[in-house]
Amino acid sequence: MTASTVHEVDGDAAESLLIDLVETPSPSGEEAAAAERLLDFFAAHDREAFRDEVGNVRAPADDSVLLTSHVDTVPGEIPVRVEDDDSDGVLQDRDREDGDSRVLWGRGSVDATGPLASMAVAAIETGVSFVGVMQEETDSAGAHFLVDDREAPGAVINGEPSGWDGITLGYRGLIAGTYVATSESGHTSRPEPNAIEHAISWWSAVREAVSEVGGDEFDPVFEQVTAKPVQIDGGTSSDGLSVEATMDVQLRIPPSLDAGSLRELADGELELGTVNWGTPIPPVMESPRTPVGRALRGAIRRSDGDPRLLRKTGTSDMNVFAREWDCPMATYGPGDSDLDHAPDERLPLAAYHRAIAVLTDAAGDLAEAADAAGAEADAQ
- Give catalytic residues, as residue numbers: 72, 136
The CA distance from 5 to 126, in Å, is: 9
- For 86, 175, 207, the CA distances from 20, given in Å and listed in that order, are 22, 35, 44
Displacement of CA 347 from its chain's centroid (Å)? 17
Task: With residue 148 as reference, give the H or E element that holds it.
Answer: helix 141-149
The CA distance from 303 to 315, in Å, is: 28
Bond before 112 cis per omega within 30 degrees: yes
The CA distance from 270 to 259, in Å, is: 17
The CA distance from 309 to 188, in Å, is: 54
The CA distance from 97 to 290, in Å, is: 29
The CA distance from 225 to 172, in Å, is: 9
Give which of 17, 9, 6 is closest to 349, Cα–Cα: 17
Torsion on CA atoms 352, 357, 363, 364, rounded to nearest 10: 160
Three-state SS at 110: coil
The CA distance from 70 to 56, in Å, is: 9
Displacement of CA 261 from its chain's centroid (Å)? 25
The CA distance from 249 to 227, in Å, is: 7
Torsion on CA atoms 155, 161, 166, 170, rounded to nearest 10: -60
C-beta atoms surrounding 319 within 10 Å: 23
